[in-house]
Amino acid sequence: MAEVCVETVDPRIRRTRVLLQQALGKLLETKEFDKISVQDIAEAATVNRATFYDHYTDKFALLECMVAARFGELLAARGVRFDGGCSSALKAMLLGVGDFLAASPGLACERQVQMEPHMEAAVIAVVRRMILDGLEKHPPADGVPAPMLAGTLSWAIYGAAKEWVRTPGRCSSEAMVEQVMALVGPMFAAAHAGAAATA
């Protein structure tokens, strides 16, 4: 499923995928995800079902790619990049996840509960990829596999942001970031401690 989310240089393919993602986004404004069919999406995008299946295996794959694209755009618009050694980028990433989830249907809306695992998979994949890219520049200490650190941090970031969104009368997103950094910051620092000592 992941391969359909990869950016393509062919403008026709990119245009069709954007049309399909926009069509699903528009349909979600008025209809529950589990009641939206591939035919509905194809019609809203003014393409046929065969074209839909040329790009996505099903509506769940489309949803994951739509979420990943929107979340990636939010982080890019904020200039969030993780270089592997700076905790301020983790804070920005965490703030981005919190803001994205707070503005998205699915977590706070019981009607869109079918979307939740796909939103989760898409956001975690984007965060994990960003962290892994950064860890290539500043690898963690010996004995700490970069994929393990990236996976742990991405799940922790998403999980904390999800709990924050679901909390009635929640604190500000900035306060949430500080709370979560108190938890994941030491883990991040420990993973780099050995590398810093040998540098």
The 10s digit of each residue's pLDDT in 11-30 is 899 999 999 999 999 998 88
Say whether pLDDT at 4 is over 90: no
- Residue type at position 57: T
Does the pTM exceed 0.85? Answer: no
Share of the chain above pLDDT 90, in %: 33
Give the CA distances from residue 113 to residues 37, 57, 98, 104, in Å, rounded to whole numbers and listed in that order: 16, 21, 18, 12
Domains with residue ranges and CATH for the chain: 2-191 (1.10.357.10)
Cβ atoms within 10 Å, residue 169? 4
* Contact yes or no for 180/160 (Cβ under 8 A): yes
